[in-house]
Amino acid sequence: MPNPEPAPALAWLGFLLGAVAFGHAWFLLGWQRAVAFFGLAVTLAWLAASLSLATALASPLRFTAALGPRLGQVPLAALFGWSGMLYNSHVIANLIGEGRAAGGRRRGPWTACLALLTALILTGWDLTLDPTLAGPAGAWVWLQGGGYFGTPFANYLNWVETAFMIAIAIRLMEPALPPAREPAARGVLAALPLLAYAAAGLGCAGLGQPAATRVLPPFAMGIPVLAAFGRLLKAEAAP
């Protein structure tokens, strides 16, 4: 049953992340691809989180009321925020690997490489996010603590594994869907997910807790941003 308590500002931020990313996907990819992307991402993320919570595969945790309503044990804000950032990471991986936001030029082993890159880009966000949300923000509690600012190292392996499986499922699904609405999108349209990810990185660098985690976003998140921005500039300069 959903948590009856109203969602505070932290929960609305998660919903906003998901809504902005979904709106961009709708405009860039078309409604069918956008619905397929987020439908698959939210469903698989919910299944993975529910399984993890039920079996403590990563490490036992307990969500608080800070993230608002839940589907089962999983806060909806976490699902939508995570899926929104997965989409941003997906676009960044496309820009780095193929020079365009929609991607889709090459298949085969390249699909797995891009899916892994997506998973690593997304997990770079959590290096600062998790200690902050599990600490002063109080969004969840690690019941047994962990060696990385109170977060278990297994959590990050779980992020990479889950994001990789969902990202590769999405990429394998793409050929069966209608072509992207703007397959060669450039300029501001292509850069919006990049800017959203960069803004999240700046937030982590400025507000991360403990303060020691603030040195991580310029590297874990800044390097993918710079690589994607460089490929985007190169595409803009091409005739």
Q: pLDDT over 90 for what percent of the chain?
A: 73
pTM for the whole thing? 0.94
Q: pLDDT class for 107, splitting at 50, 70, 90? A: confident
Judged against a pLDDT cut of 50, whether residue 4 lies above it is answered with no
What DSSP line would sit under 57-73, residue for residue? SS--EEE-GGG--EETT
Query: Look-up: residue for tokens 């992340």?
Result: 17
Please name which of 131, 139, 28, 37 lies closest in space to residue 84, comparing C-alpha atoms.
37
Averaged pLDDT for residues 90-104: 91
Percent of the chain residues topping a pLDDT of 70:
95
Mean of all residue pLDDT scores within the chain: 91
Question: What amino acid occupies position 41?
Answer: A
Q: What is the mean pLDDT of residues 136-158?
A: 91
- What digits encode the pLDDT tens for the residues 157-210? 999 999 999 999 999 999 899 988 887 777 888 899 999 999 999 999 999 999
For 7-65, write each residue's pLDDT tens digit: 578 899 999 999 999 999 999 999 999 999 999 999 999 999 999 888 866 668 889 99
Domain residue ranges in the chain: 9-237
Asked if 128 and 218 count as a contact pair (C-beta separation under 8 A), the reply is: no
pLDDT band at 227 (very low <50, low <70, confident <90, very high): very high
C-alpha to C-alpha distance for 6 and 112, rounded to whole angstroms: 40
Token representation of residue 215: 């040195």
Q: Which two tokens stand for residue 23?
A: 């709106």
Nearest-angstrom CA–CA distance, 66 and 10? 7
Helix (H, G, I), strand (E, B) or coil at 208: coil
Determine the 3-state secondary structure of 224 from DSSP.
helix
Residues in the chain: 239
Q: Beta strands 70-71 and 74-75: pairing type? A: antiparallel
More confident residue, 6 or 46: 46
At CA 157, angle to CA 63 and CA 166, rounded to 5? 80
Q: How far apart are CA 110 and CA 53, in angstroms?
A: 32
Mean pLDDT of 112-120: 97
The whole-number pLDDT of residue 60 equals 81
| pLDDT given at position 186 | 78
3 state SS of 4:
coil
Quote the CA–CA distance of 112 and 115 in Å, as a whole number: 5
Tokens of 211: 């303060």
